[in-house]
Structure 1
Amino acid sequence: MVTCSVGFLKENWSMFDPPLPLSYLKGFNCIGFDTLNKVYLEYDECWWGSLEGIQFVWDSAKRKKMLEGDDTLWTCDLTGFDPVVGLPNVLVGWVGGEGAVLMEAFSADLIGQHCTQVLREITGNTEIPIPKRCTRCCEEEMATSPLACSIDNDTSNRALAVIGSP
């Protein structure tokens, strides 16, 4: 028995013997949740007080057009930051889709600066410090790794019943 991500199954369907059912292969083309990376920002001290998180609500298409050609384009797919339980001076940010792949081209320090720029813009607080450390879950290039394949999302979930069956 083997357990693989749907993205891996989609990319490596031919390696299975017996072959995967055609209905599964068709289903793989309809579902998924795309690439998702995390960014951890560590500060000397908590500057966000009792906030339970900061979620960004913006028009991604409009923002992408505004930032076209800019290094910070990847931040259009940044959805927000949450405090990390047990680490009172650390925030975790969530980056999905194309932005998750784009951010892998940048150093952790530059990503920390970009995140600070967005946090300052969203909160209006120009005093937010640059994090003392920025750590990415994609340090080993998870978004582009052949073992961590992603696929486009089927928002209608048509294929769930097919590939969810034994």
Structure 2
Amino acid sequence: MKVKSYFLFLSDFLPLHKIKLSGIKIITYHGVYKDELSNERWIPPHFVKLSEFEKQMRYISRYFKPVNLRDAVKALKSGSFSSKMTVVTFDDGYANNFYLALPILKKFSIPATIFLVTKYIINQDLFPFDKIRLLNYWGVKDIGMTDYLNNPIIQLDYQLSQIWPKYKHLLTEK
């Protein structure tokens, strides 16, 4: 398949537009943190500093064609994809995805796919439960969910009416 996945630390961000890459790029993030927390030991090493995340999104919007995961899959299936297509995803649905990353994504008109872990939605440990339905407003058209063991439940074609029945009420009742 013509998909390239990139796991980036912003300090290592390469001039990808100058490298000959075929296929769709998928850039995966977990979390974003405020710059003033840079020296805190509790910040996971795979999180990205907010100012660096903004630089990356500016870069992606300038040199690539950001698309959501659903459109990327459709383009792959039809053979109409471009090597400029780039997908931004977030794993696990940390609250900072909503409070810090989404405003920047909106600023640069970059769609994103967020994979939420249902265990944390139920416990409200990560993603703010009351904000799930606001994701569409922010331009997040694709939401993936995983169960307690981090097994994929859905990955594409997010629609409230088609979510696994066990978890449908999580997105519609509250």
Q: TM-score range by the shorter chain?
A: under 0.3
Normalising by structure 1, what TM-score? 0.25
Greater relative contact order (CA < 8 Å, ≥ 6 in sequence): 1
Normalising by structure 2, what TM-score? 0.24
Instruction: Name the one with the larger strand percent.
Output: 2
Larger Rg: 1
